[in-house]
């Protein structure tokens, strides 16, 4: 059994899911036990994943499952986010009458899928993990059954996701046709000796790339995001924005480093590929930041904001394509972005709009008089989104910019910086509404449980602490390479 | 025992009184002047005892090694700059520490009586303790940033105390004026600090003293430091805040605006004297500015009717004497005068405070008179202070002032012109001080009849500091270093005593039987219109300039550009939104189109890298 030892966190996670599922069947009348077992599962997994020895990366199951500093750190992050969301949005679920015990094992399966996705070194396993992650997400998106927007979001997400899954499979089969393997490290070895007409491989590669550009909602594959974000329950939107994006970005990084592009045979294609990423990054930045300032719905606004953040991460990935050790700027971005997004979505989930309307910006008016503490929290997260100093958001942008500048992508940094200025307007406007405007008559009430306030406070504390002393985090993430 | 006790004791007092005030204010109770005053005075007196011990320990060390140092923590480390938070006590700072804690504790004691009817005594004492904490940092700091911390800190405390009675708008404005004028001077300090770092590479005071700089750098550095000193020590051109600063409680005027804070300019110049002395230009400027200030301020003092304003201009004038001493390269006589001045000017202010207290906030000297009998202790001690500032032997002012007069004539940097102006200022000093003394304590009573019968001598807490300072004003001069006097020096001495006697005699003749109110020269009374000039040139000028910028630069260029760019961004945002139709079929179509477009771009050679 000792060779399975590094996989214990994942095994424990799966067993926890089974137990949670069983519990939810046995105690179908109440959701508390499922909630508690879900939390327990995540906590145990978190501790196990932190205790795995990853000094030397290991591969399991014929090398399709990678256990390394990257995958255990990511698993810890995902578990942490899961814990935050379960604690922070418990009251929200009750309020929306979707506090079902099913919710928890679906959530856990989603997180498991995401964590396996990160570990996967084989295209087929990637596909399975992708579906394991996505199917619960489609279901969860439709959990507000009485709201047509939620149903719409679920259907839309499912159809588009299904099509894109097919695109991925098509790409994977092309790659298999070209290389005779679906195994990432074998593809890498193959690419070092590859010669002749490689069009089939390139087509397959572009297709799987597109499918993950869709997953991270890079322009022009971003259409689904605002609708799905708006319709889904806020707690699920939060999971999508953090857990699913993080996992998808890690896979995207793997796809972009799938082959040895330094070999002269592949070099021209690599240049085209970089150009493609540049265009996607710039489009995501410009379109994301331009639309974000026109939004009045909070969740749609956060959706467009996440599209512009995708642009920054793509810039970081571009830097890592030029110089592989710069991948740490992507890790820092994902870590910081997940934290502040988590806090923001828990805050959004505290709203109680009248007449089942969405959460609008106008609902924030006059919050300063009602909940001054929460205004501080909002401001901190929004400042972090805008990239202000003394928040982790400053360093996430800073390292992406640095890695781009160091690899000669100065023009794109200038565009990104201009977009940051534009989107800062969108992030500062809610603060202005909270502080400077009196409450609008139609403004929603804001109520948070002690649990959700504490989650917000803890993530705010981390966002601030890392904004002041980022050294520990940078040191940790700098040492995480991408394995071939 | 450690050096840090010196700064921590006032800090403890500050924190105690601060929290005490907050606690009482929250429960809407009046804090007790006795409790807060005793704590505040106690910590200052304890600090004074510590200071005395260190003074003794310092005097036991060999003359060239008189230095105690204690590093508390590393303050900042940025690149090559390494600033530690360290206290350093040598003979110079030891003298200042003795003045601050000694005179400071007397004034704290005096304040207990003076502020007994105040609404928020704990707040007052916490500010006073904060001031002492900052002032001690100023003189004990081992590097320029640390001195700057104290420099700014005393400015803050001074601002808080001038505007202490904040319900009165004039007092608030006076506080702001003091703060702003000081900030102008601080600019000089900051730039000097940048220069020091650039050319010396260190901000440590000992490194700076040893540094050799090029003549130009030395001159610029010295002038900037001196500019900073003109702000803090109220010299031309930044002196106008000090008369207004009299809005604060009188003990504050005595401590901050006479004895300690305003002398920090002398401390800084003396501390950096190796650099200051290296440039003749700097010395000449300091000497000229000092002696001009001494003369002009003395002239203005002759025209004032407010007892505290007279003393304020007198302080400016005496500070001018100290700068004159620095300017002729005799820093030690400047520092000596700091000490004697601290004694007699604090005494005069506290005496004035006692008079004001007795007459229920009456400050006009033409509504006083014949108070000698009713305020015996105040009048006797006040006369001691008067004798000291006039420089009558054997009072303290005699030794220090004559030393300065002698140095202005005989030092290598001195000349006859400096001496003549300084002697004229000494004559004027005798005139306005005698005018003050005679009008307040002698002659006929011009007191408002309603207040006449309430006149009372100060309580013991106020009388004791007066008496102690009276004795110090008498004997303080004997602490100086004595040397053989040449014949010429004896003549200078005699001349200055005769001048002082002359000024006093004229004033006595003029005012001994004075009745009614004197019509004083409005131009001199208003500080020679300097305030007005600053207002119309700088304040109005800045206002006009900013209006111009608002109309032309801001409106025409910035706002217009901004409006256009926001319009473009907003428009593009709405444009991009058009594709966000919400229909799943449309989305699928667009994804398909995007895939086809990318494939075409990559494989059909549309991209810049050609066909693969």
Per-residue pLDDT reduced to its tens digit, B214-262: 889 999 999 999 999 999 999 988 888 998 888 889 999 998 888 899 9
The answer, for B166 touching chain A at a CB cutoff of 8 Å, is: no
Residues 6 or more apart whose CB falls under 8 angstroms from that of B175 comprise: B158, B159, B160, B162, B163, B245, B247, B248
- H/E stretch holding A139 reads helix A123-141
The whole-number average pLDDT for the span B454-472 is: 87
Q: Which residue has the higher pLDDT, A379 or B556?
A: A379
Residue linked to tokens 């794109």: A412
Contact residues for A44 (Cβ-Cβ < 8 A; gap 6+): A12, A16
**Does the residue B180 lie in any domain?**
yes
User: Residues B470, B378: contact at Cβ < 8 Å?
Assistant: no
What's the CA angle centered on B156, arms B151 and B159, to 5 degrees?
125
Q: Indicate the Cα dihedral angle A150, A155, A157, A158, nearest 10°.
A: 140
3-state class percentages of chain A: helix first, strand second, coil last, to nearest 5: 75, 5, 20
For residues B86-100, average pLDDT = 91
Neighbours of B239 (CB within 10 A): 26
The answer for residues whose C-beta is within 8 angstroms of residue B572's C-beta and 6 or more apart is A286, A290
- The answer to whether the beta carbons of residues A50 and A83 sit under 8 Å apart is no
Q: Is the pLDDT of residue B610 over 60?
A: no
CB pair distance less than 8 Å for B584 and A203: no
The predicted pLDDT at position B484 comes to: 65
Is the CA virtual torsion A212, A216, A221, A225 positive or negative? positive
At residue A445, the 3 state secondary structure works out as strand
Q: Which residues of B fall within a CB distance of 8 Å from A291?
A: 573, 576-577, 580
A153 token code pair: 């979001």
Residue A218: per-residue pLDDT? 93
* CB within 8 Å: B608 and A214: no
- Looking at the complex, does the CB of residue A160 fall below 8 Å from at least one CB of chain B? yes
| ipTM summary value | 0.85
CB contact at 8 A, A386 and A420: yes
Q: DSSP 3-state assignment of A222?
A: coil
Q: State residue A357's pLDDT score.
A: 63
Spell out which residues of chain A touch residue B602, defining contact as CB-CB under 8 Å: 202, 206, 272, 276
| The pLDDT of residue B482 | 64
Q: Which residue has the higher pLDDT, B565 or B289?
A: B289
Residues in chain A closer than 8 A to B609 (CB atoms): 268, 271-272, 275
Q: Residue B364: what pLDDT? A: 87
What's the domain range around B273? 143-278
Provide the number of structural domains found in chain B. 1
Please indicate whether, in this complex, the C-beta atoms of A206 and B598 are within 8 angstroms of each other.
yes
CB A307 within 8 A of CB A224: no
DSSP codes joined into one string, B105-121: HHHHHHHHHHTTT-S-H
Does B608 touch chain A if contact means CB atoms closer than 8 Å? yes
Å between B558 CA and nearest CA of chain A: 16
**What residues form DSSP beta bridges with B204?**
B143
Contact pairs from chain A to chain B, CB under 8 Å: 75
A220, A286, A294 member nearest B574 (Cβ): A294
- Residues B377-394: what's their mean pLDDT? 90
Chain B closest-CA separation from residue A20 CA (Å): 35
By the 8 A CB rule, do B293 and B333 touch? no
Q: Are A69 and A479 in contact (CB under 8 A)?
A: yes
Residue B190 lies in a domain: yes
CA angle centred on A421, ends A416 and A424, rounded to 5°: 120
Give the C-alpha separation, B590 to A210, whole Å.
13
**Per-residue tokens: B191:** 């730039």
Across the interface, whether the CB atoms of A159 and B584 are under 8 A apart is answered: yes
Confidence of residue B346 (pLDDT cuts 50, 70, 90): very high
B203 SS3 class: coil
Antiparallel, parallel or unpaired: β B81-89 and A351-352: unpaired
Of B391, B405, B538, B388, give the one whose Cα is nearest residue B470.
B388
Question: For residue B606, is pLDDT > 50?
Answer: no
Tell me which chain B residues have a C-beta less than 8 angstroms from the C-beta of A292.
573
* Interchain CB distance below 8 Å, B607 and A272: yes
Per-residue pLDDT tens over the stretch B470-491: 998 888 877 766 666 777 888 8
What are the two backbone dihedrals, phi and then psi, of residue A33, each rounded to the nearest 5 degrees? -60, -40
Establish if B595 touches chain A: CB-CB under 8 angstroms. Answer: yes
State residue B446's pLDDT score.
83
- Which 271-290 residues of chain A touch chain B by CB within 8 A? 271-272, 275-276, 286-287, 290
- The confidence score (pLDDT) of residue B481 equals 65
Beta pairing class for A445-446 and A351-352: antiparallel
Choose, out of A165, A290, A296, A423, the residue to mutate when testing the contact with B (most B CBs < 10 Å): A290
With an 8 Å Cβ cutoff, is A448 touching chain B?
no
d(CA A241, CA A90): 18
- Specify the length of chain A in residues: 484
Pick from B572, B583, B589, B611 the residue to mutate for testing the A interface (most A CBs within 10 Å): B572
Residue whose token pair is 């304020």: B312
Q: Which of residues 551-570 of B touch A (CB under 8 A)?
A: 569-570
The tokens describing A340, both together, are 């502040």
Question: What does the DSSP 8-state code read for residue A360?
Answer: B
- Per residue in B495-538, pLDDT (tens digit) is 888 999 999 999 888 888 877 777 777 787 777 888 888 888 88
Per cent of chain B over pLDDT 70 is 98
Residue B506 lies in a domain: no
- Tell whether pTM > 0.95: no
Mark the ranges of chain A whose per-residue pLDDT is less than 70: 1-2, 99, 354-357
Query: What average pLDDT does range B280-284 have in this prediction?
Result: 92
Structure confidence at residue B605 (pLDDT)? 63
Q: Residues 297-326, chain B: which have Cβ within 8 Å of A?
A: none
- Per-residue pLDDT tens over the stretch B3-20: 889 999 999 999 999 999
């Amino acid at each position: 059994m000792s060779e399975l030892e590094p996989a214990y966190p994942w095994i424990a996670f799966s067993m926890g899911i089974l137990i949670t599922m069983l519990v939810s069947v046995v105690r179908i009348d109440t959701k508390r036990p499922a909630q508690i077992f879900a939390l327990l599962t995540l906590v145990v997994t978190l501790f196990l994943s932190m205790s795995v020895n990853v000094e030397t990366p290991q591969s399991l199951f014929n090398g399709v499952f990678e256990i390394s500093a990257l995958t255990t750190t990511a698993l810890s992050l995902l578990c942490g986010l899961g814990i935050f969301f379960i604690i922070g949005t418990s009251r929200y679920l009750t309020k929306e009458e979707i506090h079902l015990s099913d919710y928890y094992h679906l959530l856990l399966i989603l997180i498991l899928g995401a964590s396996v996705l990160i570990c996967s070194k084989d295209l087929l396993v990637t596909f399975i993990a992708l579906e394991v992650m996505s199917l619960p997400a489609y279901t969860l998106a439709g959990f507000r059954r009485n709201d047509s927007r939620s149903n719409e979001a679920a259907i839309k997400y499912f159809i588009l996701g299904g099509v894109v899954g097919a695109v991925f499979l098509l790409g994977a089969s092309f790659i298999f046709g070209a290389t005779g393997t679906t195994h990432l490290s074998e593809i890498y070895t193959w690419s070092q000796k590859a010669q002749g007409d490689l069009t089939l491989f390139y087509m397959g590669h572009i297709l799987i790339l597109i499918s993950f550009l869709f997953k991270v909602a890079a322009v022009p594959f971003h259409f689904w995001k605002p609708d799905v974000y708006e319709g889904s329950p806020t707690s699920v939107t939060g999971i999508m924005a953090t857990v699913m994006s993080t996992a998808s970005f890690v896979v995207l990084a793997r796809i972009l480093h799938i082959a040895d592009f330094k070999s002269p045979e592949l070099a021209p294609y690599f240049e085209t590929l970089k150009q493609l990423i540049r265009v996607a990054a710039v489009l995501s930045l410009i379109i994301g930041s331009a639309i974000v300032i026109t939004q009045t719905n909070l969740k749609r606004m956060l959706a467009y904001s996440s599209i512009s953040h995708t642009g920054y991460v793509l810039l970081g990935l571009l830097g890592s394509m030029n110089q592989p050790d710069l991948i740490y700027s992507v890790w820092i971005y994902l870590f910081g972005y997940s934290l502040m997004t988590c806090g923001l979505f828990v805050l959004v989930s505290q709203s109680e709009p009248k007449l089942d309307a969405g959460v609008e910006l106008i609902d924030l008016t006059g919050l300063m008089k009602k909940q001054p503490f929460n205004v501080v929290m909002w401001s901190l997260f929004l400042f972090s989104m805008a990239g202000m100093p003394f928040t982790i958001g400053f360093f996430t942008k800073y390292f992406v910019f640095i890695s781009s500048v160091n690899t000669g992508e100065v023009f794109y940094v200038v565009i990104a910086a201009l977009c940051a200025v534009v989107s800062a307007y969108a992030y500062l406007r809610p603060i202005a509404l909270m502080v400077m405007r009196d409450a609008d008559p139609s403004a929603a009430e804001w109520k948070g449980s002690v649990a959700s306030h504490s989650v917000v406070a803890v993530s705010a504390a981390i966002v601030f602490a890392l904004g002041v002393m980022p050294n520990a985090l940078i040191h940790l993430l700098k040492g995480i390479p991408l394995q071939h | 025992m450690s050096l840090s006790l010196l700064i921590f004791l006032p800090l403890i007092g500050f924190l105690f009184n601060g929290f005490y005030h907050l606690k009482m204010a929250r429960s809407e109770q009046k804090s007790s002047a006795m409790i807060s005053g005793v704590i505040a005075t106690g910590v200052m007196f304890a600090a004074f005892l510590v200071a005395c011990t260190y003074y003794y320990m310092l005097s036991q060390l060999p003359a060239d090694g008189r230095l105690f140092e204690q590093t508390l923590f590393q303050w900042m480390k940025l690149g090559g700059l390494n600033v530690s938070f360290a206290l350093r006590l040598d003979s110079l700072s030891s003298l200042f520490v003795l003045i601050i804690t000694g005179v400071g504790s007397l004034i704290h004691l005096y304040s207990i009586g003076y502020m007994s009817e105040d609404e928020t005594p704990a707040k007052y004492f916490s500010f006073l303790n904060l001031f002492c904490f900052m002032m001690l940092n100023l003189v004990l700091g081992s590097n320029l940033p640390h001195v700057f911390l104290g420099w700014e800190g005393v400015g803050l405390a001074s601002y808080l105390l001038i505007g202490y009675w904040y319900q009165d708008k004039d007092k608030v404005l006076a506080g702001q004026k003091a703060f702003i004028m000081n900030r102008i001077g601080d600019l000089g300090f900051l730039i000097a600090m940048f220069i020091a770092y650039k050319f010396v590479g260190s901000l440590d005071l000992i490194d700076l003293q040893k540094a050799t700089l090029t003549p130009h750098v030395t001159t610029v550095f010295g002038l900037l430091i001196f500019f900073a000193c003109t702000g803090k020590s109220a010299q031309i051109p930044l002196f106008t805040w000090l008369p207004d600063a009299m809005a604060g409680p009188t003990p504050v005027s005595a401590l901050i605006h006479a004895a300690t804070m305003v002398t920090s300019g002398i401390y800084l110049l003396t501390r950096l004297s190796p650099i200051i002395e290296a440039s003749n230009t700097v010395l000449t400027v300091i000497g000229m500015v000092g002696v001009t200030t001494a003369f002009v301020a003395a002239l203005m003092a002759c025209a004032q009717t407010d007892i505290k304003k007279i003393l304020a201009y007198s302080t400016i004038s005496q500070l001018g004497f100290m700068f004159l001493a620095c300017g002729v390269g005799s820093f030690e006589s400047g520092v000596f005068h700091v000490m004697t001045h601290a004694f007699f000017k604090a005494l005069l202010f506290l005496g004035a405070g006692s008079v004001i207290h007795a007459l229920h906030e009456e400050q006009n000297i033409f509504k006083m008179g014949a108070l000698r009998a009713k305020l015996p202790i105040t009048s006797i001690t006040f006369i001691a202070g008067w004798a000291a500032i006039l420089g009558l032997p054997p009072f303290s002012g005699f030794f220090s002032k004559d030393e300065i007069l002698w140095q202005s004539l005989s030092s290598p940097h001195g000349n006859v012109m400096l001496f003549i102006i300084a002697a004229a200022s000494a004559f004027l000093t005798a005139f306005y001080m005698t005018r003050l003394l005679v009008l307040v304590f002698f002659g006929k009573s011009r007191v408002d009849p309603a207040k006449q019968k309430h006149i009372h001598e100060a309580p013991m807490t106020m009388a004791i500091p007066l008496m102690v300072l009276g004795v110090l004003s008498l004997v303080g001069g004997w602490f100086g270093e004595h040397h053989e006097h040449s014949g010429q020096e004896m003549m200078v001495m005699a001349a200055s005593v005769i001048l002082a006697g002359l000024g006093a005699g004229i004033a006595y003749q003029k005012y001994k039987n004075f009745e009614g109110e004197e019509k004083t020269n409005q131009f001199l009374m208003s500080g020679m219109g300097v305030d007005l000039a600053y207002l119309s040139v700088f304040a109005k000028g800045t206002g006009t300039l900013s209006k111009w910028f608002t109309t032309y630069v801001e409106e025409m260029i910035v706002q217009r550009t901004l409006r256009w760019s926001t319009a473009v961004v907003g428009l593009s945002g709405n444009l991009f939104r058009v594709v966000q139709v919400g229909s799943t079929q449309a989305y699928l179509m667009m994804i398909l189109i995007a895939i086809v477009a990318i494939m075409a771009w990559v494989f059909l050679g549309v991209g810049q890298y050609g066909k693969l």
